């Protein structure tokens, strides 16, 4: 029996605003770690997650330099998931809603993220064993 599944996730929250973002990335990590193929449709604020110009910063309140702080930037999380999928030999497809990208001016995304549309989300869901929507609240 082949337990490998194709799973689609829709994310909606922007970076640095909600614990749902971390939870979503943990779910993506777990799915890839178990050998499943993963699609992500980033909608509305979530299209900023793979924005290439995110920059980590020092934090004087924490008393750490930028190098010591290693502040999380979600674009690195997206890249790290793609790297993990390559290592595991699974598929990882991140699609940003193009209109949402244009609204926010975040068109410069990391290489593993591509521009798409709600039609891509529909196609991914149709081709998946299951779809999980994590909407903004």
Q: Determine, following the binding rule CB under 8 A, whether residue 74 of this chain makes contact with another protein.
A: yes
Q: Which is nearer to another protein, 83 or 125 (CB)?
A: 83
CA 133 – CA 122 distance, rounded (Å): 12
Query: Order of strands across the sheet with 37-42?
Result: 113-116, 92-97, 37-42, 6-11, 130-134
Taking CB under 8 A as the binding criterion, the range among 63-71, 101-109, 117-125, 126-134 that sits at the site for another protein is 63-71
Longest dimension (CA), the chain: 54
What does the block give as tokens for 78? 């997206």
Taking CB under 8 A as the binding criterion, the range among 14-22, 39-47, 103-111, 126-134 that sits at the site for another protein is 14-22
Which residues lie near another protein (CB under 8 A)? 15-19, 21-22, 25-26, 28-29, 32, 59-62, 64, 68-72, 74, 76-77, 79-85, 87
């Amino acid at each position: 029996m082949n337990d490998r599944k194709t799973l689609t996730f829709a994310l909606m929250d922007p970076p640095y605003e909600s614990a749902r973002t971390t939870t979503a990335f943990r779910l993506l990590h777990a799915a890839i770690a178990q050998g499943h193929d993963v699609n992500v449709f980033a909608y509305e604020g979530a299209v900023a997650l793979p924005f290439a110009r995110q920059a980590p910063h020092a934090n004087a309140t924490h008393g750490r330099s930028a190098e010591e702080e290693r502040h999380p930037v979600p674009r690195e999380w997206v890249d790290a998931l793609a790297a993990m999928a390559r290592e595991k030999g699974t598929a990882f497809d991140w699609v940003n809603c193009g209109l949402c990208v244009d609204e926010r001016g975040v068109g410069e995304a990391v290489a593993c993220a591509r521009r798409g549309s709600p039609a891509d989300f529909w196609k991914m869901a149709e081709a998946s064993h299951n779809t999980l929507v994590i909407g903004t609240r």
